[in-house]
Structure 1
Amino acid sequence: MEILLVGTIHLGYTPDMNTLSKNETDKYSDIHFEQLTNDIAKFQADQVFVEYPFGSQKHLNTIYRSNNVNERIKENEIYQIGFRLAKKIGHKAIYAVDWNEDPEELKDIGLVAEGKSKEEYQEIMGRIPIMIKKVSSIIQQGDIIKLYKYINSHEYIINDHKVYLDLMQLDDEIAFEWVSKYWYYRNLRIVQNIKKLLKPETKRAVILYGAGHNYLIKQQLEDDPSIKVFHYGDWVK
Protein backbone atom coordinates (compact mmCIF):
# COMPACT_ATOMS: atom_id res chain seq x y z
CA MET A 1 0.00 0.00 0.00
CA GLU A 2 1.17 3.52 -0.83
CA ILE A 3 0.30 6.60 1.21
CA LEU A 4 0.89 10.22 0.26
CA LEU A 5 1.39 12.32 3.39
CA VAL A 6 0.52 15.97 2.80
CA GLY A 7 1.59 18.15 5.72
CA THR A 8 -0.39 21.38 5.78
CA ILE A 9 -0.50 24.76 7.42
CA HIS A 10 -3.65 25.35 9.44
CA LEU A 11 -5.84 27.78 7.52
CA GLY A 12 -8.35 28.37 10.32
CA TYR A 13 -7.79 29.12 14.01
CA THR A 14 -5.56 26.74 15.91
CA PRO A 15 -3.81 26.91 19.30
CA ASP A 16 -0.78 25.15 17.76
CA MET A 17 2.68 26.60 18.36
CA ASN A 18 3.18 26.85 14.59
CA THR A 19 0.62 29.53 13.82
CA LEU A 20 0.30 31.94 10.90
CA SER A 21 -1.80 35.10 10.78
CA LYS A 22 -5.15 35.24 9.00
CA ASN A 23 -3.70 37.82 6.60
CA GLU A 24 -1.09 35.26 5.57
CA THR A 25 -3.45 32.35 5.07
CA ASP A 26 -5.87 34.64 3.22
CA LYS A 27 -3.26 35.01 0.48
CA TYR A 28 -4.65 31.85 -1.10
CA SER A 29 -7.92 31.65 -3.02
CA ASP A 30 -10.00 28.94 -4.68
CA ILE A 31 -7.68 29.16 -7.68
CA HIS A 32 -4.68 28.20 -5.53
CA PHE A 33 -6.50 25.35 -3.78
CA GLU A 34 -7.69 24.02 -7.14
CA GLN A 35 -4.09 24.01 -8.33
CA LEU A 36 -2.89 22.16 -5.23
CA THR A 37 -5.67 19.57 -5.19
CA ASN A 38 -5.34 18.96 -8.93
CA ASP A 39 -1.73 18.08 -8.22
CA ILE A 40 -2.51 15.80 -5.26
CA ALA A 41 -5.34 14.14 -7.21
CA LYS A 42 -2.74 12.70 -9.59
CA PHE A 43 -1.88 10.25 -6.80
CA GLN A 44 -5.29 8.62 -7.43
CA ALA A 45 -6.05 7.87 -3.78
CA ASP A 46 -8.77 5.43 -2.80
CA GLN A 47 -9.26 7.14 0.59
CA VAL A 48 -8.55 10.59 2.08
CA PHE A 49 -7.82 10.98 5.80
CA VAL A 50 -7.95 14.32 7.64
CA GLU A 51 -7.23 15.88 11.05
CA TYR A 52 -10.73 15.68 12.51
CA PRO A 53 -11.82 13.87 15.70
CA PHE A 54 -12.04 10.12 15.16
CA GLY A 55 -15.32 9.87 17.06
CA SER A 56 -16.96 12.48 14.81
CA GLN A 57 -16.84 10.52 11.56
CA LYS A 58 -20.59 10.77 10.95
CA HIS A 59 -20.60 14.53 11.57
CA LEU A 60 -17.65 15.06 9.24
CA ASN A 61 -19.38 13.25 6.39
CA THR A 62 -22.61 15.14 7.01
CA ILE A 63 -20.63 18.36 6.44
CA TYR A 64 -18.81 16.81 3.48
CA ARG A 65 -22.07 15.98 1.72
CA SER A 66 -23.81 19.25 2.60
CA ASN A 67 -24.32 22.10 0.16
CA ASN A 68 -24.74 24.56 3.02
CA VAL A 69 -21.44 24.90 4.89
CA ASN A 70 -20.80 27.85 7.21
CA GLU A 71 -17.99 30.29 6.52
CA ARG A 72 -15.89 29.25 9.53
CA ILE A 73 -15.61 25.68 8.23
CA LYS A 74 -14.74 26.99 4.76
CA GLU A 75 -11.62 28.64 6.21
CA ASN A 76 -10.25 25.28 7.32
CA GLU A 77 -7.76 23.18 5.32
CA ILE A 78 -10.04 20.16 5.78
CA TYR A 79 -12.64 21.94 3.64
CA GLN A 80 -10.34 23.80 1.25
CA ILE A 81 -8.01 20.87 0.55
CA GLY A 82 -9.45 17.66 2.02
CA PHE A 83 -13.06 18.04 0.86
CA ARG A 84 -12.01 19.55 -2.45
CA LEU A 85 -9.61 16.66 -3.13
CA ALA A 86 -12.03 13.88 -2.14
CA LYS A 87 -14.83 15.36 -4.26
CA LYS A 88 -12.49 15.84 -7.20
CA ILE A 89 -11.60 12.13 -7.07
CA GLY A 90 -15.28 11.20 -6.67
CA HIS A 91 -15.26 9.85 -3.11
CA LYS A 92 -18.52 9.47 -1.21
CA ALA A 93 -16.81 9.83 2.18
CA ILE A 94 -13.79 11.36 3.88
CA TYR A 95 -12.15 9.89 6.99
CA ALA A 96 -11.62 11.47 10.43
CA VAL A 97 -8.60 10.08 12.29
CA ASP A 98 -7.50 12.62 14.88
CA TRP A 99 -6.94 12.10 18.59
CA ASN A 100 -6.19 15.22 20.61
CA GLU A 101 -7.13 14.88 24.24
CA ASP A 102 -5.45 16.41 27.27
CA PRO A 103 -4.26 13.77 29.75
CA GLU A 104 -5.22 15.03 33.20
CA GLU A 105 -1.95 14.13 34.87
CA LEU A 106 0.21 16.12 32.45
CA LYS A 107 1.45 19.59 33.33
CA ASP A 108 1.46 22.44 30.80
CA ILE A 109 4.64 22.41 28.69
CA GLY A 110 4.88 26.16 29.23
CA LEU A 111 5.78 25.57 32.88
CA VAL A 112 9.24 24.50 31.72
CA ALA A 113 9.95 28.20 31.07
CA GLU A 114 9.64 28.80 34.82
CA GLY A 115 12.00 26.01 35.91
CA LYS A 116 15.70 25.19 35.83
CA SER A 117 15.66 24.48 32.06
CA LYS A 118 14.10 27.81 31.13
CA GLU A 119 17.07 29.10 29.10
CA GLU A 120 17.37 25.91 27.07
CA TYR A 121 13.59 25.84 26.63
CA GLN A 122 13.54 29.41 25.34
CA GLU A 123 16.31 28.61 22.87
CA ILE A 124 14.40 25.61 21.52
CA MET A 125 11.10 27.45 21.28
CA GLY A 126 12.86 30.42 19.70
CA ARG A 127 13.44 28.34 16.58
CA ILE A 128 9.71 28.19 15.83
CA PRO A 129 9.30 31.88 14.87
CA ILE A 130 12.33 31.48 12.56
CA MET A 131 10.61 28.54 10.82
CA ILE A 132 7.34 30.48 10.60
CA LYS A 133 9.15 33.49 9.12
CA LYS A 134 10.48 31.37 6.26
CA VAL A 135 7.01 29.90 5.63
CA SER A 136 5.58 33.45 5.66
CA SER A 137 8.12 34.62 3.09
CA ILE A 138 7.10 31.79 0.74
CA ILE A 139 3.42 32.63 1.27
CA GLN A 140 4.09 36.19 0.12
CA GLN A 141 5.24 34.79 -3.24
CA GLY A 142 1.76 33.36 -3.84
CA ASP A 143 2.96 29.98 -5.14
CA ILE A 144 0.98 27.33 -3.23
CA ILE A 145 2.87 24.38 -4.75
CA LYS A 146 6.17 25.90 -3.63
CA LEU A 147 4.74 26.41 -0.13
CA TYR A 148 3.53 22.82 0.22
CA LYS A 149 6.74 21.43 -1.24
CA TYR A 150 8.67 23.35 1.42
CA ILE A 151 6.59 22.37 4.46
CA ASN A 152 6.81 18.77 3.23
CA SER A 153 10.55 18.96 2.56
CA HIS A 154 13.23 17.04 4.45
CA GLU A 155 14.65 20.31 5.80
CA TYR A 156 11.37 21.48 7.30
CA ILE A 157 10.32 18.09 8.66
CA ILE A 158 13.67 17.43 10.39
CA ASN A 159 13.90 20.92 11.90
CA ASP A 160 10.34 20.69 13.19
CA HIS A 161 10.82 17.24 14.70
CA LYS A 162 14.10 18.31 16.33
CA VAL A 163 12.12 20.72 18.53
CA TYR A 164 10.37 17.74 20.15
CA LEU A 165 13.56 15.69 20.39
CA ASP A 166 15.40 18.52 22.12
CA LEU A 167 12.52 19.20 24.50
CA MET A 168 12.65 15.56 25.53
CA GLN A 169 16.36 15.89 26.40
CA LEU A 170 15.89 18.81 28.79
CA ASP A 171 16.67 18.24 32.43
CA ASP A 172 13.00 18.65 33.19
CA GLU A 173 10.42 15.91 33.71
CA ILE A 174 7.55 18.15 32.55
CA ALA A 175 9.02 18.42 29.04
CA PHE A 176 9.85 14.72 28.81
CA GLU A 177 6.37 13.65 29.92
CA TRP A 178 4.64 16.14 27.60
CA VAL A 179 6.55 14.87 24.56
CA SER A 180 6.26 11.17 25.42
CA LYS A 181 2.80 10.99 26.98
CA TYR A 182 1.08 13.55 24.79
CA TRP A 183 2.93 14.20 21.51
CA TYR A 184 4.21 10.70 20.75
CA TYR A 185 1.08 9.13 22.17
CA ARG A 186 -1.14 11.38 20.05
CA ASN A 187 0.61 10.37 16.84
CA LEU A 188 0.43 6.69 17.77
CA ARG A 189 -3.32 7.10 18.25
CA ILE A 190 -3.64 8.86 14.89
CA VAL A 191 -1.82 6.04 13.11
CA GLN A 192 -3.94 3.47 14.94
CA ASN A 193 -7.08 5.28 13.73
CA ILE A 194 -5.81 5.42 10.15
CA LYS A 195 -5.13 1.69 10.12
CA LYS A 196 -8.55 0.96 11.62
CA LEU A 197 -10.23 2.84 8.76
CA LEU A 198 -8.08 1.61 5.88
CA LYS A 199 -10.25 -0.55 3.65
CA PRO A 200 -8.88 -3.93 2.52
CA GLU A 201 -9.25 -2.88 -1.11
CA THR A 202 -7.39 0.42 -0.66
CA LYS A 203 -4.14 0.55 -2.60
CA ARG A 204 -3.42 4.28 -2.26
CA ALA A 205 -4.42 6.86 0.35
CA VAL A 206 -3.79 10.53 1.08
CA ILE A 207 -3.34 11.82 4.63
CA LEU A 208 -3.81 15.58 5.08
CA TYR A 209 -2.43 16.65 8.46
CA GLY A 210 -0.75 19.52 10.26
CA ALA A 211 2.85 19.55 9.04
CA GLY A 212 4.21 19.04 12.56
CA HIS A 213 2.95 15.43 12.44
CA ASN A 214 4.86 14.57 9.26
CA TYR A 215 7.86 12.86 10.83
CA LEU A 216 6.08 10.63 13.34
CA ILE A 217 3.13 9.62 11.15
CA LYS A 218 5.50 8.45 8.41
CA GLN A 219 7.78 6.67 10.86
CA GLN A 220 4.96 4.88 12.64
CA LEU A 221 3.10 3.88 9.48
CA GLU A 222 6.27 2.47 7.93
CA ASP A 223 6.80 0.24 10.95
CA ASP A 224 4.34 -1.86 8.95
CA PRO A 225 6.41 -3.27 6.04
CA SER A 226 3.32 -3.45 3.84
CA ILE A 227 3.02 0.39 3.84
CA LYS A 228 5.17 2.83 1.86
CA VAL A 229 4.78 6.52 2.70
CA PHE A 230 5.74 9.44 0.46
CA HIS A 231 5.98 13.02 1.70
CA TYR A 232 4.36 15.44 -0.74
CA GLY A 233 7.67 17.32 -0.97
CA ASP A 234 9.42 14.20 -2.31
CA TRP A 235 6.56 13.02 -4.51
CA VAL A 236 5.61 16.23 -6.34
CA LYS A 237 7.49 16.92 -9.58
Structure 2
Amino acid sequence: MSKKRYILSVALIILTLNPIFSQNSPKTEILLVGFDHLGQMDNGTPSSDIFSPKKQKEIIKLTEKLRTFSPDQIMVEKEPSEQKQVDSLYKAYRENTLKLSEIEYGSSETYQIGFRLAKMLNLETVYGIDHYESTSQSLLSSGKNIDIFKNGLLELMNTARPMKKKVQQDSLSIYDYIKTINQPKFIDLSHNLIFNLPAYVINGKFSENGTNTVDIGKIDEKYIGAEYITLFYNRNLKIYSNILNAQLDHNSKRIFLIMGQLHIGVLKDLLEANPNYKIITTSEYLN
Protein backbone atom coordinates (compact mmCIF):
# COMPACT_ATOMS: atom_id res chain seq x y z
CA MET A 1 0.00 0.00 0.00
CA SER A 2 1.34 3.41 -0.95
CA LYS A 3 2.00 6.00 1.75
CA LYS A 4 -0.78 8.21 0.35
CA ARG A 5 -3.34 5.40 0.47
CA TYR A 6 -2.21 4.43 3.95
CA ILE A 7 -2.73 7.98 5.27
CA LEU A 8 -6.16 8.14 3.63
CA SER A 9 -7.17 4.80 5.15
CA VAL A 10 -6.09 5.91 8.63
CA ALA A 11 -8.01 9.19 8.23
CA LEU A 12 -11.17 7.34 7.24
CA ILE A 13 -10.86 5.03 10.24
CA ILE A 14 -10.45 8.00 12.58
CA LEU A 15 -13.49 9.74 11.09
CA THR A 16 -15.53 6.56 11.41
CA LEU A 17 -14.55 5.98 15.03
CA ASN A 18 -15.13 9.62 16.03
CA PRO A 19 -18.80 9.93 17.10
CA ILE A 20 -18.93 13.49 15.80
CA PHE A 21 -18.30 12.38 12.22
CA SER A 22 -19.62 8.81 12.17
CA GLN A 23 -22.66 8.34 9.94
CA ASN A 24 -23.78 5.54 12.24
CA SER A 25 -23.98 7.75 15.33
CA PRO A 26 -27.44 9.03 16.34
CA LYS A 27 -28.32 12.38 14.83
CA THR A 28 -29.16 15.34 17.03
CA GLU A 29 -32.77 16.31 16.37
CA ILE A 30 -33.43 20.03 16.10
CA LEU A 31 -36.75 21.85 15.93
CA LEU A 32 -36.46 25.36 14.46
CA VAL A 33 -39.30 27.77 15.21
CA GLY A 34 -39.25 31.25 13.71
CA PHE A 35 -40.91 34.22 15.39
CA ASP A 36 -42.07 37.67 14.50
CA HIS A 37 -40.62 39.12 17.68
CA LEU A 38 -43.28 39.15 20.39
CA GLY A 39 -41.45 41.97 22.15
CA GLN A 40 -42.30 44.22 19.20
CA MET A 41 -45.96 43.24 19.07
CA ASP A 42 -47.28 45.82 21.52
CA ASN A 43 -48.49 48.95 19.69
CA GLY A 44 -49.98 50.58 22.78
CA THR A 45 -53.47 49.07 22.51
CA PRO A 46 -54.79 46.72 25.21
CA SER A 47 -55.39 43.97 22.64
CA SER A 48 -51.71 43.98 21.61
CA ASP A 49 -50.39 43.62 25.17
CA ILE A 50 -48.45 40.34 25.41
CA PHE A 51 -49.26 40.20 29.13
CA SER A 52 -53.03 40.41 28.60
CA PRO A 53 -54.91 37.28 29.78
CA LYS A 54 -55.90 36.38 26.22
CA LYS A 55 -52.39 36.69 24.81
CA GLN A 56 -50.94 34.75 27.75
CA LYS A 57 -53.43 31.94 27.15
CA GLU A 58 -52.38 31.79 23.49
CA ILE A 59 -48.69 31.70 24.45
CA ILE A 60 -49.29 28.92 26.96
CA LYS A 61 -51.08 26.91 24.26
CA LEU A 62 -48.08 27.38 21.95
CA THR A 63 -45.66 26.39 24.71
CA GLU A 64 -47.66 23.30 25.63
CA LYS A 65 -47.64 22.16 22.01
CA LEU A 66 -43.87 22.61 21.79
CA ARG A 67 -43.43 20.84 25.10
CA THR A 68 -44.35 17.53 23.47
CA PHE A 69 -41.08 17.68 21.50
CA SER A 70 -39.32 17.23 24.87
CA PRO A 71 -36.07 19.03 24.07
CA ASP A 72 -33.07 18.55 26.33
CA GLN A 73 -31.62 21.92 25.25
CA ILE A 74 -33.33 25.19 24.38
CA MET A 75 -31.46 27.81 22.37
CA VAL A 76 -32.53 31.44 22.21
CA GLU A 77 -31.65 34.72 20.51
CA LYS A 78 -29.09 35.84 23.07
CA GLU A 79 -25.33 35.97 22.64
CA PRO A 80 -23.11 33.44 24.45
CA SER A 81 -21.46 36.44 26.13
CA GLU A 82 -24.81 37.10 27.89
CA GLN A 83 -25.09 33.58 29.31
CA LYS A 84 -24.38 34.52 32.93
CA GLN A 85 -27.16 37.11 32.87
CA VAL A 86 -29.54 34.63 31.20
CA ASP A 87 -28.68 32.00 33.83
CA SER A 88 -29.30 34.45 36.66
CA LEU A 89 -32.68 35.56 35.31
CA TYR A 90 -33.79 32.02 34.59
CA LYS A 91 -32.78 30.84 38.07
CA ALA A 92 -34.91 33.57 39.63
CA TYR A 93 -37.80 32.82 37.29
CA ARG A 94 -37.55 29.09 37.97
CA GLU A 95 -37.60 29.72 41.73
CA ASN A 96 -40.69 31.96 41.35
CA THR A 97 -38.88 35.03 42.64
CA LEU A 98 -39.12 36.84 39.31
CA LYS A 99 -42.05 37.40 36.98
CA LEU A 100 -41.62 37.74 33.23
CA SER A 101 -43.26 41.16 33.41
CA GLU A 102 -40.38 42.29 35.63
CA ILE A 103 -37.70 41.38 33.07
CA GLU A 104 -36.56 44.01 30.57
CA TYR A 105 -38.09 42.94 27.24
CA GLY A 106 -39.90 40.21 29.19
CA SER A 107 -42.54 40.08 26.47
CA SER A 108 -40.03 38.59 23.99
CA GLU A 109 -40.18 34.95 22.89
CA THR A 110 -36.86 34.30 24.66
CA TYR A 111 -38.69 34.61 27.97
CA GLN A 112 -42.32 33.96 27.06
CA ILE A 113 -41.50 30.68 25.29
CA GLY A 114 -37.88 29.85 26.12
CA PHE A 115 -37.99 30.41 29.89
CA ARG A 116 -41.52 29.08 30.23
CA LEU A 117 -40.79 25.87 28.33
CA ALA A 118 -37.48 25.29 30.10
CA LYS A 119 -39.22 25.58 33.46
CA MET A 120 -41.98 23.17 32.37
CA LEU A 121 -39.33 20.62 31.39
CA ASN A 122 -37.20 21.26 34.49
CA LEU A 123 -34.18 22.19 32.37
CA GLU A 124 -31.14 23.78 33.93
CA THR A 125 -31.19 26.90 31.74
CA VAL A 126 -31.59 28.16 28.16
CA TYR A 127 -28.60 28.85 25.93
CA GLY A 128 -27.76 31.97 23.96
CA ILE A 129 -26.50 31.22 20.45
CA ASP A 130 -27.05 34.54 18.65
CA HIS A 131 -24.43 36.81 17.16
CA TYR A 132 -25.55 40.43 17.16
CA GLU A 133 -25.13 42.22 13.88
CA SER A 134 -27.81 44.42 12.37
CA THR A 135 -28.44 45.02 8.68
CA SER A 136 -31.67 46.52 7.37
CA GLN A 137 -33.48 45.94 4.08
CA SER A 138 -33.18 49.68 3.42
CA LEU A 139 -29.39 49.36 3.08
CA LEU A 140 -29.85 48.00 -0.44
CA SER A 141 -31.68 50.75 -2.28
CA SER A 142 -30.05 51.32 -5.67
CA GLY A 143 -28.56 49.53 -8.64
CA LYS A 144 -29.59 47.73 -11.80
CA ASN A 145 -32.53 45.36 -11.15
CA ILE A 146 -33.24 46.95 -7.74
CA ASP A 147 -36.96 46.63 -8.53
CA ILE A 148 -36.68 42.84 -8.34
CA PHE A 149 -35.53 43.13 -4.74
CA LYS A 150 -38.01 45.88 -3.85
CA ASN A 151 -40.94 43.92 -5.30
CA GLY A 152 -39.91 40.91 -3.21
CA LEU A 153 -39.73 43.10 -0.14
CA LEU A 154 -43.17 44.51 -0.90
CA GLU A 155 -44.59 40.99 -1.28
CA LEU A 156 -43.22 39.96 2.10
CA MET A 157 -44.53 43.10 3.79
CA ASN A 158 -47.98 42.68 2.22
CA THR A 159 -48.06 39.11 3.47
CA ALA A 160 -46.73 39.55 7.00
CA ARG A 161 -48.07 42.94 8.10
CA PRO A 162 -51.80 42.16 7.77
CA MET A 163 -51.33 39.01 9.87
CA LYS A 164 -49.38 40.90 12.53
CA LYS A 165 -52.10 43.56 12.61
CA LYS A 166 -54.72 40.87 13.19
CA VAL A 167 -52.70 39.55 16.13
CA GLN A 168 -52.51 43.07 17.57
CA GLN A 169 -56.28 43.39 17.17
CA ASP A 170 -56.95 39.97 18.73
CA SER A 171 -58.54 38.60 15.56
CA LEU A 172 -55.67 36.12 15.01
CA SER A 173 -54.09 34.18 17.86
CA ILE A 174 -50.36 34.15 18.51
CA TYR A 175 -50.49 30.37 18.19
CA ASP A 176 -52.03 30.50 14.70
CA TYR A 177 -49.69 33.31 13.64
CA ILE A 178 -46.52 31.45 14.62
CA LYS A 179 -47.86 28.25 13.09
CA THR A 180 -48.56 30.07 9.82
CA ILE A 181 -45.23 31.89 9.42
CA ASN A 182 -43.39 28.61 9.99
CA GLN A 183 -45.05 26.92 7.05
CA PRO A 184 -42.55 26.15 4.24
CA LYS A 185 -44.04 28.68 1.81
CA PHE A 186 -43.56 31.52 4.31
CA ILE A 187 -40.04 30.41 5.25
CA ASP A 188 -39.21 30.27 1.52
CA LEU A 189 -40.68 33.74 0.95
CA SER A 190 -38.48 35.45 3.54
CA HIS A 191 -35.44 33.33 2.65
CA ASN A 192 -35.79 34.22 -1.03
CA LEU A 193 -35.92 37.93 -0.21
CA ILE A 194 -32.67 37.93 1.76
CA PHE A 195 -30.55 35.25 0.11
CA ASN A 196 -31.67 35.10 -3.52
CA LEU A 197 -33.29 38.27 -4.90
CA PRO A 198 -30.49 40.68 -3.89
CA ALA A 199 -28.07 38.81 -6.19
CA TYR A 200 -29.92 40.30 -9.19
CA VAL A 201 -28.88 43.79 -8.09
CA ILE A 202 -25.60 45.06 -9.57
CA ASN A 203 -23.80 48.38 -10.07
CA GLY A 204 -25.24 50.16 -7.04
CA LYS A 205 -24.33 51.65 -3.67
CA PHE A 206 -25.41 51.01 -0.12
CA SER A 207 -27.74 53.67 1.26
CA GLU A 208 -26.26 56.03 3.83
CA ASN A 209 -29.61 55.91 5.64
CA GLY A 210 -29.67 52.11 5.89
CA THR A 211 -29.00 50.48 9.24
CA ASN A 212 -25.81 48.46 9.46
CA THR A 213 -23.60 47.60 12.44
CA VAL A 214 -21.16 45.41 10.50
CA ASP A 215 -17.75 46.60 9.38
CA ILE A 216 -18.41 46.41 5.65
CA GLY A 217 -14.88 47.10 4.53
CA LYS A 218 -14.14 47.21 0.82
CA ILE A 219 -17.24 46.75 -1.33
CA ASP A 220 -17.38 45.55 -4.92
CA GLU A 221 -20.20 47.81 -6.09
CA LYS A 222 -20.59 45.87 -9.32
CA TYR A 223 -21.93 43.02 -7.17
CA ILE A 224 -23.66 45.18 -4.57
CA GLY A 225 -26.53 42.71 -4.11
CA ALA A 226 -24.15 39.81 -3.50
CA GLU A 227 -22.28 41.98 -0.99
CA TYR A 228 -25.61 42.60 0.75
CA ILE A 229 -26.31 38.86 0.98
CA THR A 230 -22.84 38.36 2.45
CA LEU A 231 -23.69 40.59 5.44
CA PHE A 232 -26.68 38.41 6.38
CA TYR A 233 -24.97 35.13 5.58
CA ASN A 234 -21.91 35.95 7.66
CA ARG A 235 -24.03 36.62 10.74
CA ASN A 236 -25.93 33.37 10.30
CA LEU A 237 -22.74 31.38 9.84
CA LYS A 238 -21.62 32.65 13.25
CA ILE A 239 -25.00 31.72 14.76
CA TYR A 240 -24.63 28.28 13.17
CA SER A 241 -21.19 27.91 14.74
CA ASN A 242 -22.67 28.84 18.13
CA ILE A 243 -25.38 26.20 17.69
CA LEU A 244 -22.85 23.48 16.89
CA ASN A 245 -20.63 24.35 19.81
CA ALA A 246 -23.47 24.69 22.32
CA GLN A 247 -24.69 21.23 21.33
CA LEU A 248 -21.19 19.80 21.51
CA ASP A 249 -20.56 21.30 24.96
CA HIS A 250 -23.72 19.76 26.41
CA ASN A 251 -24.07 16.64 24.24
CA SER A 252 -27.74 17.42 23.68
CA LYS A 253 -29.89 15.06 21.60
CA ARG A 254 -33.03 17.15 21.05
CA ILE A 255 -32.70 20.89 20.52
CA PHE A 256 -35.45 23.48 20.37
CA LEU A 257 -34.24 26.68 18.67
CA ILE A 258 -36.11 30.00 18.92
CA MET A 259 -35.06 32.67 16.40
CA GLY A 260 -36.48 35.46 14.29
CA GLN A 261 -38.24 33.94 11.28
CA LEU A 262 -35.76 35.47 8.80
CA HIS A 263 -33.02 33.23 10.20
CA ILE A 264 -34.86 29.94 9.83
CA GLY A 265 -34.37 29.28 6.11
CA VAL A 266 -30.61 29.73 6.07
CA LEU A 267 -30.05 27.87 9.36
CA LYS A 268 -32.21 25.03 8.06
CA ASP A 269 -30.06 24.80 4.92
CA LEU A 270 -26.85 24.70 6.96
CA LEU A 271 -28.14 22.11 9.42
CA GLU A 272 -29.62 19.90 6.69
CA ALA A 273 -26.17 19.68 5.13
CA ASN A 274 -24.67 18.58 8.46
CA PRO A 275 -24.80 14.75 8.75
CA ASN A 276 -24.98 14.99 12.54
CA TYR A 277 -28.37 16.74 12.55
CA LYS A 278 -31.94 15.86 11.73
CA ILE A 279 -34.41 18.68 11.12
CA ILE A 280 -37.79 18.19 12.81
CA THR A 281 -40.61 19.86 10.91
CA THR A 282 -42.64 22.42 12.81
CA SER A 283 -45.93 21.00 11.50
CA GLU A 284 -45.36 17.87 13.59
CA TYR A 285 -45.96 19.94 16.73
CA LEU A 286 -47.92 23.00 15.59
CA ASN A 287 -50.94 21.52 13.86
TM-score (normalised: structure 1): 0.84
Q: For residue 177 of structure 1, what is the amino acid of its counterpart?
A: E
Larger-gyration structure (1/2): 2
Q: CA RMSD in A?
A: 2.5
1:109·1:178 contact (CA, 8 Å) conserved in 2?
no
Give yes or no for the alignment of 1:90 onto 2:122. yes
Deviation at 1:126, TM superposition (A): 1.5
| 1:151 correspondence with 2:178 | no
Amino acid at match of 1:26: D
Quick check: 1:207 aligned with 2:239?
A: no
Matched, 1:130 2:158: yes
Contiguous gaps of at least 5 residues in structure 1 = 14-18
Amino acid of the structure 2 residue aligned with 1:150: T
2:233 to 179, 184, 194: 184
C-alpha spacing 1:200/1:80, structure 2 compared with 1 (3 Å): closer
Aligned: 1:236 with 2:268: no
Q: Which runs of 4+ in 1 moved over 4 A?
A: 19-25, 114-118
Q: Distance in 1 between matches of 2:189 and 2:239?
A: 21
Matches within 5 A, 1:15-164: 21=43, 23=45, 25-26=48-49, 29-66=55-92, 67-68=97-98, 70-101=102-133, 110-136=138-164, 139=167, 140-164=170-194
Deviation at 1:130, TM superposition (A): 0.8
The aligned counterpart of 1:16 is: none
TM norm structure 2 = 0.71
Cα distance change, pair 54–174 in 1 and its aligned pair in 2 (3 A): farther
Instruction: Provide closer, same or farther for how the CA distance between residues 72 and 200 of structure 1 changes in structure 2, counting only shifts above 3 A.
Output: closer
Q: Aligned residues, how many?
A: 227
Aligned to 1:6: 33
User: Gaps spanning 5+ residues in structure 2: where?
Assistant: 1-27, 204-222
Q: Does the 8 Å CA contact 1:20/1:136 hold for their aligned counterparts? A: no
Residue 214 of structure 1: SS of its match in structure 2?
A: helix
Give the secondary structure class of the aligned counterpart of 2:124.
coil
Pairwise CA distance, 1:231:
3.4
Kindly, what percent of the aligned residue pairs are identical? Answer: 26
Alignment of 1:164-179 (within 5 A): 164=194, 165-172=196-203, 173-179=223-229
Partner of 2:22: none
Ranked by relative contact order (alpha carbons within 8 Å, sequence separation 6 or more), the top structure is 1
Counterpart of 2:66, as a letter, is I
Residue 54 of structure 1: CA displacement? Answer: 2.1
**Are residues 1:226 and 2:251 paired?**
no
Aligned 8 A contact 2:68 2:285 in 1: no
**Contact preservation (8 Å) 1:148, 1:233:** no
CA contact (8 A) 1:49 1:95 kept: yes
Alignment check: 8 A CA contact 2:65 2:285 kept = no
